[in-house]
Structure 1
Amino acid sequence: MLRRLVPTALAMAAMLVVANASFAAQPADLDAQVQTAMQSHGVPGMAIAIVEDGKVVLAKGYGVRKLGSPERVDADTIFPTGSTGKAITTAAIAVLVDDGKLKWDDKIIDHMPWFRMYDPWVTNEMTVRDLLTHRSGLGLGAGDLMFVPSSSRSRADTVRALRYIKPATSFRSGYAYDNLLYAVAGQLIEEVSGQTWEVFVRERVLKPAGMTSSVTEQSARFANPNRAWPHARLGGRVRGLGEQRVLDERKTLGDNAAPAGGLSSSANDMAHWMLVQLGHGTWTDANGKQVKVFSEAQSQQMWTPAVLTPTPAYPGKLAPFSPKFSSYALGWSVRDYRGAKLIDHGGAVFGVQTYVVLIPERNIGITVQINAEDFQVMRAIAMELVDHYLDAPDTDWMAAFDEFANTRMQGGVAALDASAKEQGAAPGKASLPIADYAGRYKDAWYGPIDIRNEKGGLRIDFTRTPGMVGRLEHAHHDTFRAIWDDPNIEPAYVTFGLGADGKIDRVTMKAISPIADFSFDYQDLQFAPVRAD
């Protein structure tokens, strides 16, 4: 694919606009706030983009791309954008709707006859809109282990596995966030357009939007020297505690899940994206030309709520963040804040996070990206900016989000302690000799895993997830702990179930940490032994 490793004339023009802007500028102390927050929380790098009234107010980088390296983050440094890219996939479908090749309420099987859900009735009723709104009946994060932290599967193979995932609720009865159906949306784009999601998005969304440094392929991200590296705290009792460390950037997300969260983009490009969104599909380039990416009619569809989402009453200092209404539209969340409507979405892949928020009535857009998992820094900076542009009362958002994050971590550690105490009271012996637990097992949607007896110890290998291998340590009775060689992968309990004949007839799993990321959906797996013919 063609890549631009230096600023284009368009990007340079945008930077000149920023340098000479005299309209409603960002807070005078923004740089100092960002530097203080990053230093106090150990965040290596950050990028911020702000747009207002069709103009770029700010596109700027802070800190370093990688701990231990001197290269600085700038406005063209690309970060994985995680689930904020769901809006890009939605925009690609909007382009196909404008082209007359799709309708939002078309049934998927009319375009992909081989598509199947677990329930045949749902298969026949599932629409394009359903793919994008988290109301399918799938459980939270269902199927994510097919592409987290990486995968050897093709996208089509991933979609075919969907038919084996049992629903958690009835169809369209409620909201449960998923990534898998956005992978289906990516496959749908290929079936309808004849181009892969990667190519179609690049040619029909990114290029028209002036997003010249954004990439859809992981390989293109790795080839760009101006990229942010992922970082996380993995040395503590739960993820989020311990020293910041650099992660393996090639083990953060499988290519098969790119339509759900595989886009990488820069502050300059995210500014362009927000201009397109606030312009209802159209933006003005550096030459004053109006460029349409998708129609205003499709823009309205994207921002129209389709399903209600929870309205949590956040505790303590975070209470002002609590919404009175909250919903999900097409690739965007829609909620209220201090009487204003916010169109927003967060995104994360391991070690990198992004948050995008639009305030349509003020024609404001804000993006904050960090190459770490300290979400409280990203969200606090974003909310400080939102308050600035809403002329809201001062709130110490850093203190509020710190309190929330600390409570979450402490709760996770306390739950681990309680679990360890319970297990220690009656550890129990394994029912079988260690060698008898070894074998090949298969789950209907994930596929096979291997458990091997090596030198008197058990090793587990998730064969379709490169690098997802580790040792099994006995915990109690027929439950073992999977401790992965890669510390980026959440440890899990592995429980062997015995049949009436005393032999293993099933294997189930669950995350050890009570605050593990929902994409480690171990609880949805049920492996059965693969018998030798």
Structure 2
Amino acid sequence: MKRLRWLPFALYVLVLAPALVARPAQTESPRPVIDAAFDDVVARYHLPGLAVGVVEDGKVTYVRTTGERIAGSGEPIDADTLFKVASNTKSMTTALLARLVDQGKLRWDDPVTRHLPQFRMHDDWVTREMQVRDLLVHNSGLRAGAGDLMLWPEPNDFTRADIIRGLAYLKPVYSFRSRYAYDNLLYIVAGEVAAAAGGAPYETLLRREVFQPLGMARCQIGAWNRAEVGNVAQPHMRQGERNVPVRADSDAIPASTMDPAGGVRCSLNDMLRWMQAWLRTEPAQSPWLSRDQRRALWLPQMPMPLSDRQRAWDDSHFSAYGYGWRLADVDGVFKVAHTGTLMGMYSAVTLLPDRNVGFVILANGEADDARTVLTEVLVKHFTAPAQRRTVAHYADELDRERAALPATRRPPDTSARRPAEVASMRRWLGVYRDPWFGEVALCASLERVRFASRKSPMLAGVVQRVGERWLVDWDDDSVDTEAWLDFAGTDGAVSLTMAKVDPEADFSYDYEDLAFKRTGACP
């Protein structure tokens, strides 16, 4: 098997680069346009809280917040309120690694096993060939979101050692380095590589190498105390006409297994400092990271599919993943960006280096569409202001896209469900085991059949019958992706597989990667 080369796509970008010509900087004040978009998105999507900030030419030119940290509490969100930035953590993890490269403690092309001898992928050749850079660019060959059930929903009992052990059992669905498929588990591995090379826990290194030198004083990672830190937004989900807090923090917030992939919390002010650090391109302006490593992080490493929406909305010609950043062109302007999504928390960071502009969006509610349309309005304000497209324009476009989805991509009607009878499922009852996810029990309880995971306690619920199929109705409403249960085999050798009921649901509910075998009877 030949090792794939990185050079051709880099050459493609070098050929394309002359087309990404910097245009004159935006001179009109952003406030009227952004104020209008801010108001419109809050009104249309009924967000519990929102924070938006803009940096232009190194200066903060816009800061605005609205709403409450907890709906109905009367506690206002301000520029120092902490939000979960979710996968915007990834660019902080890669910045930490870049700092270690600058210090000579690490190389991007180091084999992962040089730092973590216990690391294994399903294929021995991939194990030997996987470099530190491969952990960061979503080219592993695994299905998108593979193994994410070891990370979410939280809290759960999976450790980073479990993640590293479990990777050996996740079967690839593509060839290594052949295509892009978003991954979280390998960022957990990257955090452990940083810890091994840096000689300290990941959380300690991130504070020392990223937060402290950049003055991101309120950012939190690892274990901390909410009461002592104060001013922390909580996630919400929409129920009817209300925003309802979900998965609220206790006072003592523990370190999380998923920290290197999505565990950072920062305020709007912190994220504005983060963007200012990236928009200072000269070493004299920002000695925190060398010019070589800045370039490395923004060098396209893995081509990404270019969607119809990117072509239609942005006139985009390329899309790629760097080290913890998504790279694309919008109206001939280079864009460096990432989003972050956790239950009830959404973030977006967008940099337009050609314009010396960046902006950040933080929300503590269900804000997928809100983030998409607000990001687009703000990008277009700086790349194609003459278009004057509004929140309503892009929101209506999303609604039309959704209405045009084929029936195979829409959630099936499960309204005729009823609790499964114990007698009808008796041949399938028992304790099952998957090699990376561990044990689940499918057992009778008070005339119902319950599914319960041993290491992920939020994955528990009552089995329902829908026609000739079974699904799990999770007890906790914040676990918002139900699963089909499919059984096969005889009494002596029974297997269980699962699949998302909604084919368009978040890929982190990677039920499709599970392959359970029955190991015993119900206790």
TM-score by length of 1: 0.85
Please give the alpha-carbon distance, in whole angstroms, between the structure 2 residues aligned to 1:80 and 1:222: 16
Q: How does 1:30-41 map to 2 (within 5 A)?
A: 30-41=34-45
Please give the alpha-carbon distance, in whole angstroms, between the structure 1 residues aligned to 2:172 and 2:52: 39
Q: What letter matches 1:304 in structure 2?
A: L
Query: What displacement does 1:270 show?
Result: 0.5
Q: 1:466 aligns with which of 457, 472, 487?
A: 457
Please give the alpha-carbon distance, in whole angstroms, between the structure 1 residues aligned to 2:179 and 2:421: 41
Structure 2 residue 430 is matched with structure 1 residue 439 = yes
Query: What displacement does 1:122 show?
Result: 0.2
SS of the equivalent of 1:361 reads: coil
Q: What letter matches 1:439 in structure 2?
A: G
Residue range with higher mean Cα deviation, 458-467 or 353-362? 458-467
Structure 2 residue 369 is matched with structure 1 residue 376 = yes
Please give the alpha-carbon distance, in whole angstroms, between the structure 2 residues aligned to 1:486 and 1:59: 36
- The 3 A distance-change label for structure 1 pair 480 and 309 is same
Q: What letter matches 2:93 in structure 1?
A: T
Q: 1:486 aligns with which of 476, 496, 501?
A: 476
**Contact 1:93 / 1:189 at 8 angstroms: preserved in 2?**
yes
Q: How does 1:112-511 map to 2 (within 5 A)?
A: 112-150=116-154, 151-217=156-222, 219-220=224-225, 224-233=229-238, 243-250=242-249, 255-280=256-281, 292-314=287-309, 319-390=312-383, 392-407=385-400, 410=403, 419-420=412-413, 433-477=424-468, 479-499=469-489, 501-503=490-492, 505-511=494-500
Identity of aligned residues (%): 34
Please give the alpha-carbon distance, in whole angstroms, between the structure 2 residues aligned to 1:165 and 1:300: 33
Q: What letter matches 1:125 in structure 2?
A: E
SS of the equivalent of 2:440 reads: strand
Please give the alpha-carbon distance, in whole angstroms, between the structure 1 residues aligned to 2:273 and 2:92: 12
Query: What displacement does 1:456 show?
Result: 2.0
Query: What displacement does 1:380 show?
Result: 2.5
Q: Which residue number corresponds to residue 94 of structure 1?
A: 98
Q: Which residue number corresponds to residue 54 of structure 1?
A: 58
Please give the alpha-carbon distance, in whole angstroms, between the structure 2 residues aligned to 1:137 and 1:222: 42
**Contact 2:135 / 2:187 at 8 angstroms: preserved in 1?**
yes
Residue range with higher mean Cα deviation, 148-157 or 380-389? 380-389
Unaligned 5+ segments in structure 2 are 1-26
TM-score by length of 2: 0.87
Structure 2 residue 511 is matched with structure 1 residue 516 = no
C-alpha deviations, 1:29-84, integer Å up to 9, x for none?
A: 53343123212320111111211222222233222222112111111111101111
Q: Which residue number corresponds to residue 238 of structure 1?
A: none
Query: What displacement does 1:433 show?
Result: 4.2
**Contact 2:153 / 2:458 at 8 angstroms: preserved in 1?**
no
Please give the alpha-carbon distance, in whole angstroms, between the structure 1 residues aligned to 2:50 and 2:246: 17
Please give the alpha-carbon distance, in whole angstroms, between the structure 2 residues aligned to 1:330 and 1:473: 43
Please give the alpha-carbon distance, in whole angstroms, between the structure 1 residues aligned to 2:511 and 2:95: 32
**Contact 2:345 / 2:367 at 8 angstroms: preserved in 1?**
no
Query: What displacement does 1:322 show?
Result: 5.0
**Contact 1:27 / 1:385 at 8 angstroms: preserved in 2?**
no
Unaligned 5+ segments in structure 1 are 1-22, 236-241, 284-289
Q: What letter matches 1:267 in structure 2?
A: L
**Contact 2:422 / 2:449 at 8 angstroms: preserved in 1?**
no
Query: What displacement does 1:504 show?
Result: 5.4
Q: What letter matches 2:245 in structure 1?
A: V
**Contact 2:88 / 2:347 at 8 angstroms: preserved in 1?**
yes
Please give the alpha-carbon distance, in whole angstroms, between the structure 2 residues aligned to 1:321 and 1:430: 52
Cα RMSD, aligned residues only: 2.9
Residue range with higher mean Cα deviation, 268-277 or 24-33? 24-33
**Contact 1:80 / 1:352 at 8 angstroms: preserved in 2?**
yes
SS of the equivalent of 2:452 reads: strand
- The 3 A distance-change label for structure 1 pair 422 and 42 is closer
Q: Which residue number corresponds to residue 5 of structure 1?
A: none
- The 3 A distance-change label for structure 1 pair 320 and 410 is closer
Q: What letter matches 2:365 in structure 1?
A: A
Please give the alpha-carbon distance, in whole angstroms, between the structure 2 residues aligned to 1:449 and 1:109: 32
Query: What displacement does 1:432 show?
Result: 6.5
**Contact 2:37 / 2:390 at 8 angstroms: preserved in 1?**
no
Please give the alpha-carbon distance, in whole angstroms, between the structure 1 residues aligned to 2:430 and 2:405: 33
- The 3 A distance-change label for structure 1 pair 495 and 377 is closer
Q: What letter matches 1:88 in structure 2?
A: M
C-alpha deviations, 1:355-380, integer Å up to 9, x for none?
A: 11111111111111111222232232
- The 3 A distance-change label for structure 1 pair 325 and 299 is same
Please give the alpha-carbon distance, in whole angstroms, between the structure 2 residues aligned to 1:188 and 1:67: 39
SS of the equivalent of 1:362 reads: coil
Query: What displacement does 1:278 show?
Result: 1.5
Q: Which residue number corresponds to residue 526 of structure 1?
A: 515
SS of the equivalent of 1:255 reads: coil
Please give the alpha-carbon distance, in whole angstroms, between the structure 1 residues aligned to 2:236 and 2:346: 10
- The 3 A distance-change label for structure 1 pair 46 and 282 is farther
C-alpha deviations, 1:458-494, integer Å up to 9, x for none?
A: 11112211322111112244x3210111111134334
Please give the alpha-carbon distance, in whole angstroms, between the structure 1 residues aligned to 2:147 and 2:395: 31
Query: What displacement does 1:444 show?
Result: 1.1
